[in-house]
Amino acid sequence: MKPQTPEHDAPADAAERLACAPVICYPPETLPDPGLERLRAARQGWVLEQTVTVPPREAACARVPAGWFFRIVSTEGPQVGDLNLWNAGDLGERFYSGKTRALHGTHLSGGDRLWSSFPHLRPMATITEDTLDWYGFDRFGGAVHDVIGTRCDPYTGRLLSGTDYHHCCHSNLTRALAAETGMRPAEAEPLVHDVLNVFMCTGFSRDTGQYFMKASPVRPGDFLEFFAEIDLLLGLSACPGGDCGAEHSSDTARCYPLLIEIYRPKAAPRGWTPPEPSRYDGSHGL
Ligand SMILES: [Zn+2]
């Protein structure tokens, strides 16, 4: 955190330096157009092919072929979900929350995309509908569906409280990925990565820049909908924090299940082809 009382005096031109206008690093108009309307049109006549229930304080995996859709749905009560995405054919290609944050901002909504890790850097999924888009940013600077948090995990819990808790999202995702793939938990754990915090309401305090959470505005019937740009294996944890209005990493909060719905469209969206991996030549100047 920045000190309340700096140790160093401001220079003579401090006001001038402070007044420099910010520049948006990645203006959205410079990104490839996700073709949101064409993706949405492909929902006409789609078939609900599969549902997967994620129990409270647990995680589950699901597979979604390229060109299909999936929804994460709130069913019984306010509940936050921690989402991991992998290329189903190459688990080394996974969701890159940091680059997604740089490209689309701290919190995602319709038309934003979930980008994959280097050296691939391509859209893994495009968000096609967000029933919580009305929330915007609240007066605290909070918003839903962030890519600023990481995931609750037993290591930070141990660091801060000195106790072990085994149903953090990191552990839930590790167990679910191991069960889905047949890997040992020790093999699956390094593949678990920073998440999209579905339905979670978070921000940075305006005075100190500290990460905060507050009770999620999600209610039963709300959903976040995605179009799978490549063949996906997804992992979703129903966070032990429940609506994350008070605490996580314990059995204290009231928790609810989450539902994954997987939809098969009648035909691929018009003009859509699966995105290719980055064409950077990989030589790094050597
Ligand atoms: Zn969690």
CA of 267 to the centre of ligand 1 (A): 36
Whole-prediction pTM:
0.96
- pLDDT for residue 196: 98
Q: Rounded mean pLDDT of the chain?
A: 96
Closest by Cα among 93, 129, 122 to 274:
122
Burial class for 36, CB neighbours closer than 10 Å (0-12, 13-18, 19+): middle
pLDDT reported for residue 252: 86
**Residues comprising the chain, all counted:** 286
Distance 6 CA to ligand 1 centre (A): 35
Question: What's the gap in Å between 87 CA and the centre of ligand 1?
Answer: 22
Ligand 1 centroid to residue 49 C-alpha, Å: 28
Each residue's pLDDT, cut to its tens digit, for the chain (286 residues) gives 999 999 999 999 999 999 999 999 998 889 999 999 999 999 999 999 999 999 999 999 999 999 999 999 999 999 999 999 999 999 999 999 999 999 999 999 999 999 999 999 999 999 999 999 999 999 999 999 999 999 999 999 999 999 999 999 999 999 999 999 999 999 999 999 999 999 999 999 999 999 999 999 999 999 999 999 999 999 999 999 999 998 777 788 899 999 999 999 999 999 999 999 999 999 999 9
How many A from CA of 182 to the centre of ligand 1? 23
- pLDDT computed for residue 29 by the predictor: 87
Distance (Å) from CA 123 to ligand 1 centroid? 24
How far, in Å, from the CA of 35 to the mean position of ligand 1?
Answer: 32
Q: What are the residue ranges spanned by the domains of the chain?
A: 62-228+244-264
Residue 192 CA to ligand 1 center (angstroms) comes to 13
SS (H, E, C) 39-92: HHHCCCCCEEEEEEEECCCCEEEEEECCCCEEEEEECCCCCCEEEEEEECCEEE
pLDDT tens track for 102-155: 999 999 999 999 999 999 999 999 999 999 999 999 999 999 999 999 999 999
CA of 45 to the centre of ligand 1 (A): 35
**Separation CA 240–CA 168 (nearest Å):** 6
Give residue 214 CA to ligand 1 midpoint distance, Å: 13
